[in-house]
Structure 1
Amino acid sequence: MSEPLKMIEPEWPVSSRVHAFTTTRQGGFSEPPYESWNLALHVGDDSIKVKKNRSILEGELISVQEIGWLNQVHGTQVVELTETGIQSPEADGVFTSLRHKACAVMTADCLPVFLVNKQETWVAAIHAGWRGLVDGILEQAVQAYGSDSEDLIAWLGPAISARHFEIGDDVRQLFLSQSEKDGKFFKPFKEKYLADLYGIARRKLEARNLQVYGGDYCTYNQSELFYSYRRDGVTGRMASVIWIE
């Protein structure tokens, strides 16, 4: 193993009954440009090394019986992890009320979001890139809870910050066509705009009366900790995992 294992854990008012963390790039077996704890099999990395990296992750999942991996497509589908697994894994969000079943999403600039209810009997992991945010992935995840959204707490995991996320006016207009309130999250930059994914996600969740935490990292800027597709192009993926003990 090339480096000590390092993970990012949420700072939020949730007890130790619920476990959650986002992995970093530190601690695995992958070689450049995937060094070193890449968990994705679809990015061109050596599959043997990726499987070794996943075995490290599995060793960190205390009492977990299954990880609900998804085939992420930048959509809005949110699926349930049941006793028999996930029926249609082509989705960008997964939730469960079962103990010892882990919900997981992979990212390398897009925003990973954890949800947990205050009773700590329901958890979810969501992959929210700009397409998912525009199309309503967070709203779909909140709706999947099926009860009062005020019961939910959210944590925004490591994503690209507004300082480095450059988009065109076409993307900006998609957001503004849904809510003029999102205008403040776009700042002119040369002939384009810098977009604040954290700010947009926070607004959307707080509008539904969720308590929101996190949003303190930048995958692009913190190269020693995180993979970044915008920064590197060919790169690995982190995993954000949450489960009920």
Structure 2
Amino acid sequence: MSPLLRPDWPAPAAVRAAVTLRHGAGVSTPPFDHFNLGLRCGDEPAAVHANRRALLGLAGLPAEPLWLRQVHGTAVHIGRSGGSRDRVSAGSRAASAVAPAVAADADCEPEADAAVTTDPGVVLAILTADCLPVLLCADDGSEVGAAHAGWRGLCAGVLEATVAAMATPPSRLLAWLGPAAGPQAYEVGDEVRDAFLAHDPAARAGFVATRPGHWLCDLYALARQRLTVAGVTRVHGGGLCTISEPARFFSHRRDRRTGRQASLIWLAG
């Protein structure tokens, strides 16, 4: 089994992307078997670092990925070659310097839930195990972005913040929705639905009633809605369920204690 999945979308040739799978490579032991790339889920750090080193060759990466400390927020990092990074808060293009993103351990990873770059060779990475990874690129291959859109971040506006942080106009962006908790398996409570409807009543289309006070939640539909309102209309992907495919994906909802897969995007030099 290959340890990688390649997004099926009409991205320009300069844009490279990949999603890791849980098997086919890696040295992590159960319940993190085998290709866990997350340092904050309970796996042995030495195993995660070995997996991250293996990833470089397996995916043909030009550099160590920009690993983020994801907190279900809306902050965006601007990735730049040479190690320097800027941080952009939601709704603001004003940036301030932060520590280099190439980290030896989890404590050195910058806190953000999205990143964008126009620099070739800077690899953006999002870790997930049911949350929705969203990859973005300019249609001329000049810029890429990546966002971690769990329900909290998605509701709070992480996709809008990522689009706003990119220099490319939204009408010239393409998006790809990666593996996430699927609409037939992801059940949430009233509080989740209420939070989305408070932002936009049209979000009700993303929920289907199950038992009293509970709903099946379609993260893909909600993300498409948010992207469309933000001006991004060319949206691809959205058919892979982490919960229902244990042979390929880690799922926190399914297994509780588990690893993380990575969604990666970069510009070729």
Between 186-195 and 222-231, report the one with greater CA deviation. 186-195
Residue 94 of structure 2 is matched in structure 1 by none
Between 127-136 and 46-55, report the one with greater CA deviation. 46-55
Letter in structure 2 aligned against 1:203: Q
Residue 90 of structure 2 is matched in structure 1 by none
Determine whether 1:196 maps to 2:195: no
Please report how far the alpha carbon of residue 85 of structure 1 lies from its aligned counterpart in structure 2 after TM superposition.
Answer: 3.2
Residue 20 of structure 1 is matched in structure 2 by 17
Deviations 1:90-131 (A, max 9, x none): 000011000011000100000000000011010011100000
Please report how far the alpha carbon of residue 66 of structure 1 lies from its aligned counterpart in structure 2 after TM superposition.
Answer: 3.5
Matched residue of 1:101: which SS? coil
Gaps of 5+ in 2: 86-97, 100-109
Please report how far the alpha carbon of residue 63 of structure 1 lies from its aligned counterpart in structure 2 after TM superposition.
Answer: 5.4
Deviations 1:38-92 (A, max 9, x none): 0111111112211111111111343513411100000000110113333261000
Gaps of 5+ in 1: none
Between 222-231 and 9-18, report the one with greater CA deviation. 9-18
User: Normalized against structure 1, the TM-score is what?
Assistant: 0.95
> Which of the numbers 213, 238, 250 marks the counterpart of 1:227?
250
Determine whether 1:187 maps to 2:186: no
Identity across the alignment (%): 40
Distance in 2 (alpha carbons) for counterparts of 1:190 and 1:42: 33
User: Normalized against structure 2, the TM-score is what?
Assistant: 0.87
Distance in 1 (alpha carbons) for counterparts of 2:192 and 2:47: 37
Aligned pairs, number: 242
Determine whether 1:171 maps to 2:192: yes
Residue 99 of structure 1 is matched in structure 2 by 120
Residue 57 of structure 1 is matched in structure 2 by 55
> Which of the numbers 115, 121, 131 marks the counterpart of 2:152?
131
Distance in 2 (alpha carbons) for counterparts of 1:40 and 1:145: 26
Distance in 2 (alpha carbons) for counterparts of 1:135 and 1:119: 29
Deviations 1:151-198 (A, max 9, x none): 100000000101111111111111001111110111111121111000
CA contact under 8 A between 1:66 and 1:100: conserved in structure 2? Answer: no
The alignment yields a C-alpha RMSD, in angstroms, of: 1.3
